[in-house]
Copies of this chain bind each other. A is one copy, B any other.
Amino acid sequence: MSGPQTPEPALRIQGDAPTGARDEDAADGIQHSHRMLSFSDALLSIIATVMILPVTHTEISPEQFDKSIQKLLATRIAVYLMTFLIVTVAWAAHTRLFQVVGKIDDTLALLNLACMMTITFLPFTFSLMVTFPEVPLGIFLFCMCVITIGAVQALIVVYAFHFPHLLNPQIESSAHRALYRQHILGIVLRGPALCFVAAGFSLFFYPLSYLLMAMVIFLPYVSKVSSWCKGRLVGPQEPPAHSMEFFTFDLHEPLSKERVEAFSDGVYAIVATLLILDICEDNVPDPRDVKEKFHGSLVAALSVYGPHFLAYFGSFATVGLLWFAHHSLFLHIRKATQSMGLLNTLSLAFVGGLPLAYQQTSAFARQPHDELESVRVSCAIIFLASIFQFAIWTTALLHEGETLQPSARFGGREHAFMFAKLALYPCASLLAFASTCFLSRFSTAIFHLMQIAVPFAFLLLRLLVRLGLALLCAMRGLTQPATQAEGDAHAPLLPAAC
């Protein structure tokens, strides 16, 4: 959380009241929503990653690995990715809602808990829907969840507009409050309404239900694109007098940076500890087993689980360092937008896949012939998780004046360093992947080398970047010593100190 780090008035989406007003507010039972929001973020991030568990716990023994297991695994991975995206959509809707509702009271806190409880049920109903695509019950339950969530959110909107001091001050003081209310209620209820129709159709023609449910996710973007096309064809319309900053579904719509951080922290924390959950539960050997099978030697009994421990350390280190890169990145971001949020979601979805990769690498000892494939899958997942982080950085650079701290912009002191930090994992995983192609015999060794080397690379990075820049300066100095000043102007990648 970076509560004290977002003090610029322009970016105050949450509507923090000045300090002096706090005691009065508390006395009226009105509270700032920060803690409730981070609790919600923690819940949602756990729920988003929960469907990776059936994937990692799919038992694969070399003999049994036939088409049915392969199909099961593929289905479970698809379910995981879809659930992650669905929960993220719910999270985004929640974020949008509480950018409008700035403060809470007890009723809103309890309504929010009800909303959370329904959202935590989404993964199960979705998984049911996928396992039994032709049975109406799965579709029906899923739609019921969406409808309940929508209804509770609508209640929150109605309640907050009824007590306007709970609203974002920008909306509270607006003259078009009733219009805002109508607009927001329309958007909040659009999805549930479609799901209501879908639940009805599930009883006699279920393919239409799926089409309707897909529309829930894509509708805002379709309507956005169509209005953009219309604007292009007919000519730019005048924006309505009560143009909104919220619920526009625009890619530049601001997103609460605090909440992106809290949600990401939750995902990283749960993913980092997923493997230790398994280790703590299953890998303490049974005293009777130790006596009978290992002649009382605990060391021998534990060494059976050796690969699991290695995998755990590898997984924790990678997730930890990806968190570190994410943390460094968001330290330099002043304002988060919806497009950055989208890229962040994709990155997190792959981070959630890491336990899968490591479970595979921990299976090395048992199936040496699958080793190469496992290492490649791990490298690919790490690459994808880190490249989407890098994409957030590039997206931020496109509007750097608005989105980045001055020191991280082109030519800023931290720019080159930040660039190197975010490029480290994509480069390392790509390198490891490429070298497994040439030196397939040493693929495990290469992978473990990468795991050990990267943390030290992060420590040495500042030194390495300085050295690289000095080298670059020196080289340029040799080739064109006269145009030094001009060269600096053309190379915004280099910090001013160079």
Contact = CB atoms under 8 A, between A and B. Distances in A.
B43 A287 contact: no
Interface residues of A, number: 95
A124 interface: yes
B462 A106 contact: yes
B42 A324 contact: no
Contacts of A4: 3-4, 16, 32, 34
Contact of A109 (B16, B324, B408): B324
Nearest to A414: B27
Given A262-B38, A265-B35, A272-B43, A332 B26 contact: yes
Contacts of A54: 280-281, 284
A357 to B, nearest CB: 18
Given A50-B273, A120-B316, A406-B23, A35 B283 contact: no
B320 A113 contact: yes
Interface stretch (A131-139, A142-150, A371-379, A472-480): A131-139
Given A38-B262, A298-B138, A5 B29 contact: no
Contacts of A7: 19
Contacts of A151: none
B317 A117 contact: yes
A405 B132 CA distance: 54
A148 to B, nearest CB: 12
A117 B316 contact: yes
A269 interface: yes
Interface string A247-283: 0000000000010011001101110110011011101
B46 A270 contact: yes
Given A2-B32, A29-B417, A43-B273, 18 more contacts: A2-B34, A23-B406, A27-B414, A29-B462, A38-B38, A38-B262, A47-B273, A57-B281, A106-B458, A107-B459, A110-B455, A110-B458, A113-B323, A120-B276, A121-B276, A124-B276, A124-B283, A135-B298
Interface of A: 1-5, 7, 16, 19, 22-23, 26-27, 29, 31-32, 34-36, 38-39, 42-43, 46-47, 50-51, 53-54, 57, 106-107, 109-110, 113, 116-117, 120-121, 123-124, 127-128, 131-132, 135, 137-138, 258, 261-262, 265-266, 268-270, 272-273, 276-277, 279-281, 283-285, 287, 290, 298-299, 302, 313, 316-317, 320-321, 323-324, 327-328, 330-332, 405-408, 412-414, 417, 455, 458-459, 461-462
18 contacts: A1-B34, A3-B3, A4-B4, A4-B32, A5-B32, A26-B414, A27-B407, A27-B414, A29-B414, A35-B331, A42-B269, A47-B276, A53-B280, A106-B324, A120-B273, A123-B276, A127-B280, A132-B298
